[in-house]
Structures are given as C-alpha cells and as structure tokens.
C-alpha cells in the first residue's frame, strides 16, 4: 500500500493506493493525517507541499522512514518543458502526471479551480508546457471589497443572472459569470490548436462544471493520482532508497 500526501497551509489530503487503485481518502490537518498514517502504516509514502520546505517536511514526518518528498530533483514520468522549472508548483506537475496517465497519447488541458485558477497543458507526447494562472473566485470577491471603499464582501449563491439588479448581484455576476466566460474563452483558444481532453479539478470545479460549454472530465483526486504515479516511477527506477 502506498500513502500519498498533498499538504496546503493548514489542511492536507491523504490518499491510500493499492497499486493504482485509490482505496481510501482523508482530508484534515497535518496532525490528523499523521495519526491516520500511523494506523494504516503504508509500505511507502510520497509527500508533496507547495507551502512547506523539505526541511519542515522531514521534521513533520520524521517517524516514517520509508518516505519520499517530492522535490525538483525527483524523477517524473513526463518531460517538464516549463521555462522556469524551479518556480513550478509541485501540485501542478503532479496533476500533469495524473492527466498523462489518465489520457495517454492525448493533449490535455487541466483546469484547477481553487484559490487560483490554473490552466495547465500537457501534450500527447507527455510534455508539460505550462499554462495560465489567474485569480480564483474567492480571491476576486475579496479583491473587489479590499481595493474599493464601498463595495461589500460578497459570496457565491448559485449561478447568478447575467444582469445584476443590485450591487450584490452585480458583483456576483461579475465574478461568477466573468469566470465562466474566461473558462470558455480560454478553452476555445486551446481547442483551436487541436483536439484535447478537458480535465476539471479543485474545490470550485463542481460549481462551474455546468457553465462550461465543452465536454469535461471530473478528476477531484488528479494530483494525488499523479503523486502515486511519481512514487511508482521512482520505485521502478531505483530512486526510492528508503
């Protein structure tokens, strides 16, 4: 059994894999995930974080000797063509690996709708090319409130009408319909380059899924699946030494 962990600032995700099959999933604070790891005692562990250093992760998971922390030096089963690979978030490369195995020999566009909206493209030969980063939904609501004197802080309440008839509904339309227009516009420009699979992930993916005018594939655990593939790849290439 493999244990795969993707850590954020406060919360993280833990997935357990029997080979390639995801057998269990948990989400919570780091201490909670560590307790779960102690209970299930996976044979090998892969750890990924875009917020904590390798040194911090080594301390947090010191009690687990059979682990691997994803770094820039880790072997990955795809080609990373990013212009500045040292700045590329590990979650983005993990999702790209997940997409490559989910749709082999296909161009894939990953739409990760979370704090930021990330569009990542991997071609049919397994080359990660990069993509786009733009503000996510909560960030846009907060920005309108923070950088103006009178606009209130608003939250989503379903898909709004295009024409708002109050300040609240105008903001909701601007943010939500604006993101929907952005998503469809960006997808159209990518599709103009050739056929591709569109993969949705991230916390806001389900909210916007109905607003996308193209066939999509929901993959809420794409990064975790990619991390498991990276772990397997390193084991097979004798790069997992613990």
The active-site residue, picked from 91, 112, 123, 204, is 91
Please indicate whether residue 91 is annotated as part of the active site: yes
Backbone angles phi, psi at 13, to 5 degrees: -120, 140
Measured between alpha carbons, how far is 58 from 7 in angstroms, rounded to an integer?
Answer: 13
Burial 61-94 (b: 16+ CB within 10 A, else e): beebeebbbbeeebebbbebebeeeeebbbbbbb
CA dihedral 135, 136, 139, 144 (to 10 degrees): 70
Adjacent-strand bridge partners of 199 = 110, 217
Question: For residue 40, how many other CB atoms are within 10 A of its CB?
Answer: 13
Contacts of 198 (CB under 8 A, 6+ apart): 108, 109, 111, 187, 212, 214, 215, 216, 217
Annotated catalytic residues are: 91
């Amino acid at each position: 059994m493999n244990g795969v962990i993707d850590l954020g600032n406060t919360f993280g995700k833990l997935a357990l894999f029997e080979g390639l099959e995801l057998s269990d999933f948990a989400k919570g604070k780091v201490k909670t995930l560590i307790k779960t790891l102690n209970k299930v005692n996976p044979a090998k562990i892969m750890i990924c974080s875009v917020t904590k250093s390798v040194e911090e992760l080594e301390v947090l998971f010191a009690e687990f000797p059979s682990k691997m922390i994803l770094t820039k030096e880790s072997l990955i089963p795809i080609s990373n063509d990013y212009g500045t690979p040292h700045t590329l978030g590990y979650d983005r490369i993990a999702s790209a690996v997940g997409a490559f195995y989910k749709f082999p020999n296909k161009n894939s566009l990953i739409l990760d709708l979370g704090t930021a909206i990330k569009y990542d493209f991997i071609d049919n030969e397994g080359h990660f090319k990069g993509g786009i980063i733009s503000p996510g939904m909560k960030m846009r609501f907060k920005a309108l409130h923070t950088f103006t004197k009178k606009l209130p802080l608003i939250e989503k309440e379903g898909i709004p009408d295009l024409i708002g008839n109050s300040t609240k509904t105008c903001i909701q339309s601007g943010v939500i319909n604006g993101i929907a227009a952005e998503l469809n516009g960006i997808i159209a420009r990518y599709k103009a380059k050739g056929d591709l699979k569109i993969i949705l992930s991230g916390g806001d993916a389900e909210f916007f899924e109905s607003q996308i005018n193209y066939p999509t594939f929901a993959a809420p655990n794409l990064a975790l699946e990619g991390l498991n593939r990276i772990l397997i790849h390193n084991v097979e290439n004798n790069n997992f030494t613990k």
